[in-house]
Homo-oligomer: A and B are copies of this chain.
Amino acid sequence: MAKSSLIGKAIPRVDAPGKVLGKTEYVMDLKLPGMLEGRILRSPLPHAEILSIDTGRAEKLPGVKAVVTAVDFPDLRYGHLVEDQTILARDRVRYVGERVAAVAAVDLETAEEALDLIRVEYRELTPIFDPLEALKPDAPRIHPEIDRYGVVFASIIKYGNVCSISSVKRGNVDEGFAQADLIFEDTFTTPMVHQSCTEPHAVVAQVEPSGKVVVWTATPAAFKFRDGLAEILGMPTNMVKVIACTVGGSFGAKNDLRLDPICARLAQKSRRIVRMTMDREEEFADGNPRHSSIIQLKTGVMRDGRIVARWARMVFDTGAYTEFGPAVASEATKQISGPYRIPNVEVEALAVYTNKVSCACFRAHGGPEPTFAYESQMDIIAAGLGIDPIELRLKNAVADGDIAPTGEPYRKVSLQANLRRAAAHVNWDSKPQGKNRGLGIAVGQWHTGGRAASAIVKMDEHGKVFISTGCVDVTGSHTSLIQITAEELGVPLADVQIVPIDTDSAPFDASSSGTRSTHNVGGVLRRCAGQIREQVLTLAAEILEARRDDLDIEDGRIFVKGTPERGIPLARASRQAFRASGGPIVASGAYPGGALPTDPQALRGLCFGTAVEFIHPVQVAEVEVDPETGQVTLHRLTAIEDVGKAINPICATGQIEGGVVQGIGYALSEEIVCQNGVILNPCGVPYLQPTARDVPQIDTVLVEDGQGSGPHGAKGIGEAPIIPTAPAIANAIYDAIGVRIKSLPITAEKIVAAIRESAK
Q: Which residues of A contact B (CB under 8 A)?
A: 14, 17-18, 21, 23-24, 29, 31-33, 208-211, 236-238, 452-456, 458, 460-462, 464, 466, 468, 494-495, 497, 499-500, 502, 504-505, 507-508, 524, 578-584, 586, 588-593
25 contacts between A and B (CB under 8 A): A14-B210, A17-B210, A17-B211, A18-B210, A21-B209, A24-B209, A236-B462, A236-B495, A238-B464, A238-B466, A238-B495, A238-B497, A452-B582, A454-B581, A461-B508, A466-B505, A505-B505, A580-B592, A582-B590, A582-B592, A582-B593, A583-B588, A583-B590, A584-B590, A586-B588
CB-based contact A583/B508 at 8 Å: yes
Q: Given A18-B208, A236-B464: A456 and B31 within 8 A (CB)? A: no
- Identify which of B21, B508, B586 contacts A584 (C-beta below 8 A): B508
Q: Please list the 8 inter-chain residue pairs (A to B) with the smallest Cβ-Cβ separation, ordered nearest first.
A: A454-B583, A583-B590, A18-B209, A452-B582, A582-B592, A586-B588, A582-B590, A238-B464
Within the assembled complex, what's the spacing in Å between the Cα atoms of A208 and B24? 8
**A578 partner, pick from B23, B237, B452, B502, beta carbons under 8 A:** B452
Please, which residues of chain B bring their CB within 8 A of the CB of A238?
A: 462, 464, 466, 494-495, 497
| Bound Cα distance A500, B208 (Å) | 13
Chain B residues whose C-beta falls within 8 Å of the C-beta of A458 in the assembled complex: 456, 507
Q: Which residue of B lies closest to A580 (CB)?
A: B592
Chain B: CB-nearest residue to A207: B23
Indicate if the CB atoms of B578 and A456 lie closer than 8 Å: no
Closest to A451 in B: B582
Question: Bound complex: CA of A593 vs CA of B499, how far in Å?
Answer: 27
CB neighbours of A579 from chain B (8 A): 592
Question: Closest CB-CB distance, A372 to chain B, in whole Å?
Answer: 35
A504 touches B454 (CB 8 A): no
Cα–Cα, bound, A571→B494 (Å):
39
Task: Check A581/B590 contact, CB under 8 A, given A209-B24, A460-B508.
Answer: yes
Find out whether the CB atom of A499 lies under 8 angstroms from the CB atom of B507: no
Query: In the complex where A238-B462, A466-B505, A592-B581 touch, is A33 in contact with B31 (Cβ < 8 A)?
Result: yes
Complex contact A584–B462 (CB within 8 A): no
Residue from A17, A237, A454, A505 having most chain B Cβ neighbours under 10 A? A505
Beta-carbon nearest neighbor of A496 in chain B? B238
Pairwise interchain contact A494-B236, C-beta atoms closer than 8 A: yes
B residues in contact with A464, CB < 8 Å: 236-238
Q: Which residues of B contact A582 (CB under 8 A)?
A: 452-454, 508, 590-593
Question: What number of copies of this chain does the assembly contain?
Answer: 2
7 more A-B residue pairs beyond the given contacts A497-B504, A507-B586, with a C-beta to C-beta distance below 8 A: A17-B210, A21-B209, A236-B462, A452-B578, A466-B505, A508-B584, A524-B583
A21: chain B residues at CB < 8 Å are: 209
Given the known inter-chain contacts A14-B210, A209-B24, please indicate yes or no for A584 contacting B236, CB distance below 8 A: no
Contacts of A466 in B (CB 8 A): 238, 504-505
Question: Taking the nearest CB of chain B, how far is it from the CB of A663, in angstroms?
Answer: 31
Considering the complex, give the chain B residue whose CB is closest to the CB of A20: B209
Contact A505 B468 (CB under 8 A): yes
* A212, closest chain B residue (CB): B497
Residues of B within 8 A of A24 (CB): 209
In the bound assembly, the distance between CA atoms of A593 and B524 in angstroms comes to 32
Residues on B with C-beta less than 8 A from A452 are: 578, 582-583
Listed residue (A29, A208, A462, A582) with the most chain B CB atoms within 10 angstroms of its CB = A582
- Name, among A21, A502, A586, A593, the residue most crowded by chain B CB atoms within 10 Å (CB to CB): A586
**Which residue on chain B has the smallest CB distance to residue A466?**
B504
Within the complex, what minimum Cβ distance (angstroms) separates A557 from chain B?
16
* A580 cross-chain contacts in B, Cβ below 8 A: 592
Which B residue sits closest to A571, measured CB to CB? B237
Inter-chain CA distance A582–B589, complex, in Å, is: 9
Which residues of chain B come closer than 8 Å to A581, judged between CB atoms? 454, 590, 592
Name the distance in Å between A587's Cβ and chain B's nearest Cβ: 9
Please measure, in the bound complex, the distance between the C-alpha atom of A502 and the C-alpha atom of B549, giving whole angstroms.
Answer: 36
* Assembled-state Cα–Cα distance A591/B589 (Å): 23
Chain B nearest Cβ from A494, distance in angstroms: 7
Q: How far is the CA of A460 from the CA of B508 in the complex (A)?
A: 8
- Cβ contacts under 8 Å, A504 to chain B: 466, 497, 499
Chain B: minimal CB distance from A453 (Å): 6
**Shortest beta-carbon distance from A536 to chain B in Å:** 16
> When the two chains form their complex, are residues B454 and A584 in contact, meaning their CB atoms are under 8 A apart?
yes
Give the nearest-CB partner of A32 in chain B.
B31
Say whether, besides A208-B18, A583-B452, A505 and B499 are in contact (CB < 8 Å): yes
B460–A17 touching, CB < 8 Å: no
List B contacts of A524 (CB < 8 A): 583
> CA of A29 to CA of B34 in the docked complex: distance in angstroms?
11
> Closest approach, in angstroms, between the C-beta of A724 and any C-beta of chain B?
31
- A228 smallest CB distance to B (angstroms): 13
Set of chain B residues within 8 Å of A578, measured between Cβ atoms = 452, 508
Query: What residues of B have a CB within 8 angstroms of the CB of A460 in the complex?
Result: 237, 507-508
A602 to B460, CA, bound (A): 35
Cα separation A582 to B461 with both chains bound (whole Å)? 29
